[in-house]
Chain A
Amino acid sequence: MNQLKESTYLYSSENRDLYHHVLDQFNNNDCVFSRNLMAFIESPQNEPGPFYSRHINECGQCQAKVRAFSQTLKNVRKLIPENSPPEGFNAQVSPEIQEALKFLKKRIKVEENKNLLFSRDFVRQAIIDFFTIGLRSQTFFKGIALAALSTILVYIFV
Chain B
Amino acid sequence: MEALTHKHYGLAFILLPDELMATQLLIDSISRLVLTMENGFDEDESRLEIDFVTHLISLARIRQKHFAYKKEDPFFKLSFDERVILYLRDKRQYPVSFVASVLEGREERVLAASHQARANLLAHNGQEWESSC
Contacts and interface: CB of A to CB of B under 8 A. Distances in A.
Interface of A: 38, 42, 44-46, 64-65, 68-69, 71-73, 75-77, 79-86, 89-90, 92-94, 96-97, 100-101, 103-104, 107-108
Given A79-B121, A104-B40, A93 B111 contact: no
Contact of B75 (A46, A65, A80): A80
Contacts of B133: 38, 65, 68-69, 72
Contacts of B111: 42, 44
B27 A93 contact: yes
Contact of B95 (A38, A44, A71): A44
B86 to A, nearest CB: 6
Interface in B1-38: 1-2, 5-6, 9-10, 13-14, 19, 22-23, 26-27, 30-31, 34, 37
Contacts of A46: 93, 95-96
A80 B91 contact: yes
Interface in B92-121: 93, 95-97, 107, 111, 115, 118, 121
Contacts of B34: 100-101, 103-104, 107
A8 B125 CA distance: 47
Contact of B132 (A64, A75, A100, A107): A64
Contacts of B40: 104, 107-108
B73 interface: yes
A93 B23 contact: yes
Of A73, A80, A101, which is in contact with the most chain B CB atoms at under 10 Å from its CB? A80
Contacts of A104: 34, 37, 40-41
Contacts of B41: 104, 108
Contacts of A89: 5-6, 9, 23
A93 B74 CA distance: 30
Interface string B122-133: 100101011011
B20 to A, nearest CB: 9
